[in-house]
Amino acid sequence: MIKPSAVWSKVRRDLVLNLSELAVASGYDRGRLAQMCLPLQYGKISLSDFKRVLRQRQDHQEQQARRFKIFTPRHRGPGGSSALGGSGQRQAVADKLYGPSSKSAGKSASRQAQSAPLHSTV
């Protein structure tokens, strides 16, 4: 078990931390930190470098969002409706796409299998 006091003394001196220590210092889960593809050197990174990397990634995402926003229409019409019309029309399209394939089919086989008991009580 990693002692938080030992981690914070490393943070104050700006020393490098392994993922478990970085999890304590940053508040992120260790597994999530492992998925972030951080630029680790020998499996370690300082908290200041970690924050810098997160800031750079956030800036990049905001820049991409601004670029994307240029190409989206600014005016959506009354009620914020989109090209499909009001929310009623959007719901109708969603029902067509995700509804059963035919009206006579009823419940799908997967739904029937889910409602069946897992073990017989014989």
The pLDDT tens digits of the residues spanning 59-69 come to 999 988 887 77
Q: Is residue 103 part of a domain?
A: no
Distance CA 24, CA 14 (A): 15
CB 92 within 8 A of CB 86: no
Number of structural domains in the chain:
1
Q: Which domain holds residue 43?
A: 4-71
Residue type, 56: Q
Q: Is residue 13 part of a domain?
A: yes
Give 47: exposed, middle or buried? Use CB within 10 Å, 0-12, 13-18, 19+: buried
Q: Within 10 A of 50 (CB to CB), how many other CB atoms are there? A: 21
Q: Please report the pLDDT score of residue 8 as a whole number.
A: 92
**Where is mean pLDDT largest: 30-34, 63-67, 74-78, 118-122?**
30-34
Q: Is residue 49 part of a domain?
A: yes
pLDDT at residue 80 is higher than 70? no
Q: Is residue 90 part of a domain?
A: no
Q: Within 10 A of 117 (CB to CB), how many other CB atoms are there? A: 6
Q: Is residue 54 part of a domain?
A: yes
What number is the average pLDDT over the span 27-36?
92
Q: Is residue 83 part of a domain?
A: no
Model confidence at 93, in pLDDT bands (50, 70, 90)? confident
